[in-house]
Amino acid sequence: MKRALLVIDVQNVYFTGKLPVTYPPVSLENILKAMDAARERGIPVIVIKHRILPDSPFFSPGSSEWELHPEIARRPRDILIEKTLPGAFTGTNLEPWLRENGIDTVTISGYMTQMCCDTTARQAFHRGYKVEFLSDATGTLSFTNPAGSVTDEELHRAILVTQAQRFSAVMKTGEWIAGLGRLFK
């Protein structure tokens, strides 16, 4: 098994911007732990950054909300990929990079659980990759729209249950890191 850690859209919009992630409250801390553990063990770290047209209220290139969270920006990474749609495989060089590097397993971390993380996990599964989904290193917020309302915790849990049903091995960051230790002994 050769894995890569995907760090999806950990951008300021989720901390100081219009979409503050609220659940789980330790998601950023766990993303950083996963990045550090991956680096220590030689696992490639792929940072993915979302970009939309300049007139969008979210992810507009050049805005402070579009920038990576400072803790993500300062950590080493193997590649930075920009995407314009929820799935990190769509219109990017992610898949060629994974294939060139012999990666067969992707580990999902980042934001938001139900959008870019879920979409990327499903895309990876459909392309034949094994997928690990870090339940406490992904996150979301509560939503209300014409379809109804859902709390942050309910939305997060529903996606994790769905991912575990078919697409991913869902686990906590600590479990993932402990599993890495067993692989490298």
Which mean pLDDT values do the consecutive 10-residue runs of the chain (185 residues) have? 97 92 97 98 97 76 91 98 96 98 98 98 98 98 96 98 98 96 55
Closest CA to 32 of 122, 105, 134, 121: 134
pLDDT on residue 183: 54
**Distance, CA of 36 to CA of 4 (rounded, Å):** 13
pTM: 0.95
pLDDT on residue 181: 72
pLDDT on residue 53: 66
pLDDT on residue 97: 98
**Distance, CA of 13 to CA of 158 (rounded, Å):** 23
Q: Which residues pair with 6 in a beta bridge?
A: 46, 108
pLDDT on residue 63: 85
pLDDT on residue 182: 65
- Helix or strand or coil: residue 41? coil
pLDDT on residue 185: 38
Closest CA to 108 of 164, 52, 42: 164
* Signed CA dihedral, 81, 86, 90, 94: sign only: positive
pLDDT on residue 79: 98
Residue for token digits 């100081």?
Answer: 16
- Which letter does DSSP use for residue 91 in this model? T
Please check whether the domain covering 3-183 is classified as CATH 3.30.1330.10: no
Which helix (H) or strand (E) segment holds residue 35: the answer is: helix 27-40
pLDDT on residue 17: 80
Domain residue extents for the chain: 3-183
Q: 126: exposed, middle or buried (C-beta count within 10 Å: 0-12, 13-18, 19+)?
A: exposed
The pair of three-digit structure tokens given for residue 105, joined into one six-digit string: 């397993």
pLDDT on residue 60: 80
